[in-house]
Structure 1
Amino acid sequence: MFRTKPGSRAARSRAAGGTRPPRHHPLVSLAPALLWGAAVLGYKYACPLARRDDLPTRIGTSAVLLVAGALLILLIRRSLLRELRRIDEVAGAAQGVVLRPLPARLDGLALAARRFSAHPAATVGGDLYEAVATDHGVRVVIGDVRGSGLNALGTVATVLGSFREAAHDEPALGGVLRRLDRTLTRELVRRARLEHPADPENPLVEEFVTLLLLEIRRDGTLLTVNCGHPWPHLLSADAEPLCRADPLPPLGPFPLPADLPLRHCGRLLPGQALVLHTDGIEDARDPSGRFFPLVDTLRRVASGPFTAQTAASDIRSALVAHSQGPPGDDAAVLVLHAERARTVPPQGGGRERRPAPAPSAQ
């Protein structure tokens, strides 16, 4: 009896409670179609009846070949569709890891998001968003990578991966932005050297990311830092921009200033909501060329019964109705609703915190 080595791949698979599916050669899935085709050729060239030259035999042979050909096409089509479904499942799982579904609630906030991708076969495009609960409050990122669809997916993964780490590690929101900037710069330089190897010392970086960081503390205090992204809207009785200050340049081609302008934008009170979006929402046009009326749509949404899910769905439906179909560019909208007052933990109490790493240079 053979034993499996404790550290082998098979042993790890069994320990995980599953077995690895067997691998088949691609031609195995086409075996029925190939056998059927061989049978048809055998009938045509080996059967004495098929070699007769009278009209009824010709008609019968043609009918047999026609039916056999149709069945062969159906078998091949079914096999290809089965393989395509497997590929779609793998691609969907990979895209879901990059842009994970948001939780319905996060530290007293209700969340909902809707998105469109410019690539019809992709669920993730050049727009990104994420929200995480940290010791510093709920931190949110929303951004837009230059380009659309699958071409921007690598940059989206880089930015989101860096944010998920920095949001917990950096005590200040400016430190999160500097971490994202360093990570993105390394990725763009690496990619530029691969795409333009003739000049590795001076790589040409053409990609950039518009990005907005938001911090919602437990008392509702709102802090933001904006790099070329549309400002969120605050929904209460009306819909107003959260801030009107000029943003920083997008991340990528421009260095961050020594002093980051961190904006204090008041407080998010119970019953109020924030709507974050990418420029694909504002830039969507109808067939006559008119832009999507975002502010009017938000005012209409705020005037009725409000939940984060219904608000996000209503904005999406209004966008589709305006564009008469999905917009031609990547688009995303994120709704944060303060359903009730958020509790502030007592000083020195609450959960145990791990030691914070050294913050980035501000």
Structure 2
Amino acid sequence: MIRIRAGTPRSARSRSVVRASAREGLPAWPPGARRPGRPPGGGPGHPPLRRALALGPPAAWGALGVTYKLACPFAQQTALGARLVSSAVFLAVGTGLVLHVRRTLLRELRQARAVAGAAQSVLLRPLPSRVGGLHLAAAQLSADRGAAVGGDLYEVIATEYGVRVVMGDVRGHGLGALATVAAVLGSFREAVHDEVELAGVLRRLDRAMTRHLRERALAEHPSNGRPPDSPVAEEFVTVLLLEIDADGAVRALNCGHPWPYRLSGARADPLADADPLPPLGAFPLPSDLPAVDCGRLRPGDGLVLYTDGVEDARDAHGRFFPLPAALAETAGDLAVSPQAVLRGVLTRLLRHTGRRPADDVAVLVLRNDRGRSACAGLAGVPAARHGTPHPQSTGRL
């Protein structure tokens, strides 16, 4: 009988054995011994048994065809009826093989999509319905069929400095741009809590992008033995950073991204008209990064952030999607909910493109609910820009 000491997890004992063996210079596990947590047979799930089960049906179909041809006297006859029967037998064998291969490929495709969907949902997490007194709605459409996330990114986080928002668009689309999306989003989620000024957040994103491009260039050219002098050519990401204070004051830093629209009543106007900075990764950031003052977001007003896949969407005749007109038609729905505005814009976009966007599309709608009800409050946002931090309530899913 084996007794396990209470309070010592099996995984902890395994790690202690490995550490003790490493200190003594001995192998962690005796030859032939099975490590804890690993099934017998040398790997998880008995790979030899799985391979045998996978090869069993094709081997059976093949053996059936060969046996019929060699052992059945009827297969040796040259009469028309015998030939028709032989053809039917071999047609059935071939059909069985094709169906087995198709079933195997479909099962692997479903598994791959499940893994990709789980990874993508972790990378671009669903936004909560409310953050810091703002009502949110967001959606993304990938240009790659079967991909839920492409080269567009967005995030909304309540910090002690205000609610900070990022919207970005990586060059390219689909699954190939996920690595850059992960680098930018990971840096943003850390920097928004550490940097007092919005310019500091942007510089952190720029450093993360530069580091990612250098590591990617080194991986593509391992023979150099060191990172090349210049990162991967023609790789960049457009980024829009917003900071919304407790009183509704909006500041922005724009690196090559389309300016969002402000929805107020039945009007849809651009948030600002300042010239944006170059995209991250294309050129170094300037030494001075003053944030653009975009006025105030009054209670009930909204912002619509989007990527250029929305404006660049074309119909069958080559005409661009009329985003300002679509926003003007749906601006009144903001009083209902941001979801209504989002639904209206995407419905018109898909109708315009024939339900096949050529580029990744992302849309984020914000509505200022502060002061609209007693429960709107200022959850997660301080009373002053540099005041005492308030408890955060990001509502992550």
TM-score by length of 2: 0.80
Change (3 A) 1:348 1:72: closer
1:200 CA drift (Å): 4.6
Partner of 1:17: none
- Which amino acid in structure 2 is aligned with residue 315 of structure 1? V
2:100 and 2:220 map into 1 onto residues whose CA distance is 42
Q: 2:121 matched to 1:96? A: yes
Match of 2:229 among 165, 183, 202: 202
Change (3 A) 1:82 1:200: closer
Correspondence list, 1:73-92, <5 A: 73-92=98-117
Q: Relative to structure 2, which stretch is displaced further, 64-73 or 94-103? A: 64-73
Q: 2:391 matched to 1:351? A: yes
2:36 and 2:302 map into 1 onto residues whose CA distance is 51
| Residue pair 1:219, 1:343 contacting (<8 A) in 2 also | no
- Which amino acid in structure 2 is aligned with residue 217 of structure 1? D
Could you tell me the percent identity over the aligned residues?
Answer: 53
Q: Which runs of 5+ in 2 are unaligned?
A: 5-9, 16-34, 393-397
Correspondence list, 1:1-362, <5 A: 6-8=12-14, 23=47, 25-26=50-51, 28-196=53-221, 200-206=227-233, 207-237=235-265, 238-304=267-333, 306-341=336-371, 342-344=376-378, 350-351=390-391
- Which amino acid in structure 2 is aligned with residue 351 of structure 1? P
CA offset digits 1:54-75 (Å, max 9, x no partner): 3322222222222232223222
2:336 and 2:364 map into 1 onto residues whose CA distance is 14
Q: Relative to structure 2, which stretch is displaced further, 34-43 or 285-294? A: 34-43
CA offset digits 1:208-266 (Å, max 9, x no partner): 11100011222222111111111111101200111111111111132222221202222
Change (3 A) 1:85 1:192: same
- Which amino acid in structure 1 is aligned with residue 141 of structure 2? F
Partner of 1:355: none
Change (3 A) 1:157 1:351: closer
2:297 and 2:254 map into 1 onto residues whose CA distance is 18
2:13 and 2:73 map into 1 onto residues whose CA distance is 62
1:29 CA drift (Å): 2.5
Change (3 A) 1:255 1:349: closer
1:13 and 1:212 map into 2 onto residues whose CA distance is 47
| Residue pair 2:137, 2:366 contacting (<8 A) in 1 also | yes
Change (3 A) 1:97 1:44: same
Q: CA RMSD in A?
A: 2.6
| Residue pair 1:222, 1:267 contacting (<8 A) in 2 also | yes
Q: Relative to structure 2, which stretch is displaced further, 274-283 or 56-65? A: 56-65
- Which amino acid in structure 2 is aligned with residue 271 of structure 1? G
Partner of 1:358: none
Q: Which runs of 5+ in 1 are unaligned?
A: 15-19, 353-362
CA offset digits 1:20-48 (Å, max 9, x no partner): 75546456334223212212221221223
Q: Counterpart of 1:257 in 2: which secondary structure?
A: coil
Partner of 2:30: none
1:89 CA drift (Å): 0.6
